[in-house]
Homo-oligomer: A and B are copies of this chain.
C-alpha cells in the first residue's frame, strides 16, 4: 500500500462539477489500494472575490485579518470536496492547516513552515479515511491562521508528503506536465518524462509557471518524488526526483523556459574602481528589488569605465531606477537606461558546463535566426540570454528545433498559471 499526497489547484475545483470530477479521481486512487492525503486550493475566483470585498472595506487591510479572510476560500473548497468524496461512499474528513499540524512563523501573507505535526491526519488516514487538507495555510505560535503566499498549496502538499514519508506527491494542474518549451509558442514542444530537482528549479525560476520554486526546493530538501500531471487526463505527467532514480537515458537538454516579466537596467560609464558594484546592488536591495541576471563589462569605447546591467521584475523597475538616479553624484556614471521591452530565454539541462558545444549551438541558432543577444548569463545547468521582446517567440522556436526537442506528435495544450 502506497501513501499518495495529491494536490489540486483552484482551476481543478472551479465549481461543483469540477469538484465532483476531482472526487471521482480521489476515490479511484483510494479504491486502487492507496492511502490518500489530498491538498486543495480555493475554488476558481474565490480569492479574487475576497480580495475585492476587502478592497471595498479598506485600502490598508491588516495582514493578520487578510489571512483570516483569504483562508475562508480553502474552508469552502475542502468541505465541499470532502462532501463529494463521502457522497461516493468513501469516508473523507476535511482538515484546516491548523488541524493538519502545519506550524508556521508569524509572517502573515507569506509565512514559512517551521514544522509539521501530522499525527492526527496520519492516524485517520491509517484507519482508512481520506484526509482533505486546506492548502496555503498554517497556524502560528499565537494560534492565528497564516497564509503561505504564492505557491502555498504546492508547498503544503510537498511539506505534508515529506512529513508523512509519502511515496509520491502528485501535483494536479491543467496541463499534462512540464514541457520542453511553452506549447503556446512552440507547437512541437514535448512533455518531459523526468527531471531532477535542480533542472526543475531552473525551469520554474526561469518562468515556467507550472510549479512554484518554493515547493520544488522543499521537495529537493526532503527528496520527495513529485509527479506533475493533468487533472483532465489519465496520462503520465512529468516525474521530478533525484538523478539516481531517473531514467539513465534522459537527454542532456531538458527544456527551454522563457520570461517576459523582467526589465533591463543599465548603468553606463561607471568609473572602473572597486566598490561601485557593491554600492549599486546594496542600494537596489534596500529598495526591495529582486535582481535576476547581472552582467558587467568593460566599456570598450570608454577606457577606465565599465557598464553594469541587470534585470529585475517590471514592478520593481521604477523604484530601482529612481534609486540609481539619486546616486549619480556618488557613482559618477555617465548615463542610466531602463528597458522593459526585453525577453529572457533559458536553456536548461544537466551538466551543461561539461558540454561546451551547448552554448555554441545556442548562440549559433540565434544568429541563424537573425536574433541579437543583449545579455548572457550561465549556471551549472542553465544558459540564459536576453533578447528583444519582439523576437522572444522566434528565439524559443529556433532553439527548440536546434536542440532536437520537437515532438513527433504535437499536442495542443495551454500553459496556465497555478494560482496559489
Interface set of A (CB-CB < 8 Å, partner B): 15-16, 19-20, 50, 53-54, 56-62, 64-66, 68-69, 71-72, 75-76, 78-80, 82-84, 86-87, 93-94, 96, 99, 120, 143-144
Contact present for A80 and B57 (CB under 8 Å)? yes
Inter-chain CA distance A54–B84, complex, in Å, is 9
Would you call B19 and A57 a contact (CB within 8 A)? yes
Other A-B pairs beyond A16-B53, A57-B80, A64-B93, 5, CB < 8 Å: A57-B87, A59-B87, A65-B79, A65-B93, A65-B94
Binding site of A, secondary structure by majority: helix, strand, loop or mixed? helix
Q: Nearest 5 CB-CB pairs, A to B? A: A16-B56, A69-B79, A58-B87, A68-B79, A72-B75
| Docked-complex contact B53 and A80, CB < 8 angstroms | yes
Q: Are B66 and A79 in contact (CB under 8 A)?
A: yes
For A87, the chain B residues whose CB sits under 8 A away are 57-60
Cβ contact of A65, chosen from B60, B61, B83, cutoff 8 A: B83
The complex places the Cα of A120 from the Cα of B142 at a distance, in Å, of: 10
Complex Cα gap A71–B143 (Å): 18
Task: Give every chain B residue within 8 A of A120 (Cβ-Cβ).
Answer: 143
CB-CB nearest in chain B for A43: B53
A83-B71 in contact (CB<8A): no
Tell me whether A99 and B143 are in contact in the complex, defined as CB-CB below 8 angstroms, given that A65-B79, A79-B68 are known contacts.
yes
Question: Which residue of B20, B56, B96, B144 contacts A99 across the interface (Cβ within 8 Å)?
Answer: B144
- Are B86 and A65 in contact, CB atoms less than 8 angstroms apart? yes
Which residue on chain B has the smallest CB distance to residue A88?
B58
A140 to chain B, nearest CB (A): 12
B residues less than 8 Å from A68 (CB atoms): 75, 78-79, 82, 94, 96
| Across-interface contacts of A84 in B (CB, < 8 A) | 57-58
Alpha-carbon distance between A143 and B94 when the two chains are bound, in angstroms? 12
Q: Find the B residue at minimum CB distance from A74.
A: B72
Residues in chain B near residue A144, CB distance under 8 A: 99
Q: How far is the CA of A137 from the CA of B144 in the complex (A)?
A: 16
* Distance A79 CA – B94 CA, assembled complex (angstroms): 22
User: B residues within 8 A CB of A65?
Assistant: 79-80, 82-83, 86, 93-94
Highest count of chain B CB atoms <10 Å: which of A54, A72, A96: A72
- Residues of B near A62 (CB, < 8 A) are 82-83, 86
A16–B62 alpha-carbon span in the complex (Å): 16
Q: Which residues of B contact A71 (CB under 8 A)?
A: 75
**Residues of chain B within 8 A of A86, CB atoms compared:** 58, 61-62, 65
Cβ 8 A contact of A83, one of B58, B76, B94? B58
- The one of B16, B20, B69, B79 that contacts A80, using a Cβ cutoff of 8 Å: B69
Q: How far does the Cβ of A120 sit from chain B's closest Cβ, in whole Å?
A: 8
CA distance A397 to B292 in the complex (A): 79
> In the complex, A78 Cα to B54 Cα: how many Å?
11
Q: Nearest chain B CB to A46's CB is how many angstroms away? A: 10
In the bound complex, residues from chain B placing their C-beta under 8 Å from that of A50 are 76
- In angstroms, Cα B15 to Cα A53, docked, is 9
- CB contacts (< 8 Å) of A80 on chain B: these are 53-54, 57, 65, 69
Distance of A371 from chain B, by nearest CB (Å): 49
A209 CB to closest chain B CB (Å) equals 28
Q: How far is the CA of A61 from the CA of B81 in the complex (A)?
A: 11
CB closest residue in chain B, given A69: B79
Question: Are B94 and A57 in contact (CB-based, < 8 A)?
Answer: no
A-B contact pairs, 18 of them (CB 8 A): A15-B56, A16-B53, A16-B56, A54-B83, A57-B83, A58-B83, A58-B87, A65-B79, A65-B80, A65-B94, A66-B79, A68-B75, A68-B78, A69-B75, A69-B83, A71-B75, A75-B75, A99-B144
Residues of B within 8 A of A20 (CB): 57
Knowing A87-B57, A87-B58, the reply to whether A76 touches B82 (Cβ < 8 A) is no
A340: min CB distance to chain B, Å: 34
A64 to B99, CA, bound (A): 14
Instruction: Chain B residues near A57: list those with CB within 8 A.
Output: 16, 19-20, 80, 83-84, 87
